[in-house]
Amino acid sequence: MARQEKPAVGVLMLAGRMADVPGCMASDASFAHPVHRKVVSGSSTPRRPADIPPMLPNYLDAARELRDDGVDVITANCGLLALAQQQVADAVDVPVVLSSLIAVPTVARMIGPHRRVGILTFFVDAVGEENFTACGWSSSEAPVSVAGVGRYRSWNRFLETKEMDGELRARLRDDLLEVITEFLARESDIGALVSECTMLPAVLSELRPLIPVPVFDILTVIDWAVSGSRHSVVGDAH
């Protein structure tokens, strides 16, 4: 007999205005599940490991509040919060997915030892070994390359305004496709892509048919985590 109760996702939100655009974490349209959001007081985008300790107590408190609200999985609206993955996961008794980077070792094993995972991000200089280690792996175990959209005016405009009209959407899509095309041409052994940046899924789903390798992002990883919830719908045994 299938369960009727749907699993819920809890999102730890950075302070300030966020993009309420389908594909982004502030939009209910991004999720197939009920969503509870908690703005973390005093939070900002962590560009380096030293940015995490001052914010960590508030993140832990917010994660516990989401846990007490009954969510089944806790995530965040910035992939750079990978730097707090282990501490937040240790503070609650529900699965925590602060960054899609936690999926990289699994993706690497899917594509075999002779191909690497390509990581898509915004700030290339903000994603490195510290982020990987915080998610429980290293680039010596899962070889990766990183490419980003930070050099494009379109993506910086979206980051600044958190708004997207039709013209900007087209530019974002074209610029991201250019990044991916150049990335795959430059790194011919890439067998899959993982989007670390939580803003990229706003247009990434439209590009998947044009990308010759599998593409994973925070939303696909959350779906996987939710599928293990005790509240997930389970059909009759075959």
Looking at the chain, the whole-number percentage of residues with pLDDT higher than 90 is 86
Same domain assignment for residues 92 and 106? no
pLDDT of residue 158: 96
Amino acid at 86: Q
Same domain assignment for residues 63 and 146? no
Is 237 inside any structural domain? no
Same domain assignment for residues 131 and 179? yes
Question: Domain containing 166 — which CATH number?
Answer: 3.40.50.1860
222-229: long-range contacts, CB 8 A cutoff, minimum separation 24: 222/9, 222/31, 222/73, 222/75, 222/97, 223/32, 224/103, 225/73, 225/95, 225/97, 226/7, 226/9, 226/33, 226/72, 226/73, 228/95, 229/7, 229/72, 229/73
Same domain assignment for residues 124 and 169? yes
pLDDT of residue 232: 59
Same domain assignment for residues 104 and 213? yes
Q: Which residue range(s) make up the domain with 54?
A: 9-99+222-227
Is 236 inside any structural domain? no
Same domain assignment for residues 16 and 28? yes
C-alpha count within 13 angstroms, C-beta hemisphere, residue 173: 18
Question: Looking at residues 154-169, what average pLDDT do you find?
Answer: 95
Is 2 inside any structural domain? no
Same domain assignment for residues 90 and 59? yes
